[in-house]
Amino acid sequence: MASTFEHIPVLLQPTVDALLHHPDGVYLDCTFGRGGHSRALLAKLSTAGRLIALDRDPQAVQAMGQIEDARFQGVRCAFADLESALDSLGLDQVDGILMDIGVSSPQIDQADRGFSFRRDGPLDMRMDPQTGESAADFLARAEAREIKEVIKNYGEERFAVQIAAAIVARREERAIATTLDLAQIVAGAVRTREPGQDPATRTFQALRIHVNQELAQLEQGLTAAFKRLKVGGRLAVISFHSLEDRITKQFIEKLANPKSQQDARLRKLPLPEPMPLMKKLERIKPTREESELNPRSRSSVLRVAEKLAELPAASSGKRAVWAD
């Protein structure tokens, strides 16, 4: 099992094998973390290849400096802003894009980051501690209804009403400032839980997603990734829970099977068949061996797709023609 602060990249070899189809190409690792996937990609790139890495976490950006390779360049930014990052480097399109969604092991294991309900620390949860509202600040000012919606929608928590009420009641007595403060409040409000799952798991997940706007980041990042992939380029997305995977799956499906998204009335007209813009390649889960070595990989899923064509010119000005 991984020791504290050790980061084991999830689905490492399947990801590299599926993504890197052109060793002389330019690739983008949108979620550098501690660089596990980036190092594996560099090991397979030719001397002519190039790898760009992004991350908004300042500790991850610091770790980028440990890679001394002329083919590598790191940029501090959220992956939703990948277009700006590529523009700043004078790059138009790339051969492959990787997104490893969610929180990394070092972020969970460091108590002062506030991600873990098992380690007492400030209730922060921001991937970039210099940007946005912390979890503690959100819980201090939000109404019970808003707290409930966040916990229900992003944590899929059936006790969201009770947890929100308990949070509001406690903050009237004193501020909820630490991770263990919140974990204890949630434990008192959750009546039952699946075997082996801490009562606070879903609430902490929900607050982390909300504080970092992770689902909106993913939607924006996927749209930008499609635009900046070359035709024939590949997109690889690793997700860890159903909300992330659902967004990724639906995004790929809408581009791979545009006819299914067409208005039923249009399907009856003698119009040309809508052209697929992506091709679904693989859906991979970790092996039993990987799950045993790294329990945090158990819920992960890798989806890989290939870009077949550019968005039609008539639609290129629209915000997202495949959006619901």
Per the annotation, binding residues for S-adenosyl-L-methionine are 35-37, 55, 79, 100, 107
Contact in structure between 101 and 110 (CB atoms under 8 Å)? no
Six token digits for residue 197: 């799952």
Question: Which helix (H) or strand (E) is 160 found in, with range?
Answer: helix 160-173
- Find, among 279, 242, 238, the residue nearest to 257 by Cα: 279
User: Any residues with CB less than 8 A from the CB of 63 and at least 6 apart, and which?
Assistant: 32, 33, 34, 35
User: Any residues with CB less than 8 A from the CB of 55 and at least 6 apart, and which?
Assistant: 31, 32, 33, 61, 64, 74, 76, 77
- Find, among 124, 132, 130, the residue nearest to 204 by Cα: 124
Give the annotated binding-site residues. 35-37, 55, 79, 100, 107
- Find, among 16, 95, 7, 14, the residue nearest to 57 by Cα: 7
Identity at 57, one-letter amino acid code: D
Pairing between strand 278-284 and 301-307? antiparallel
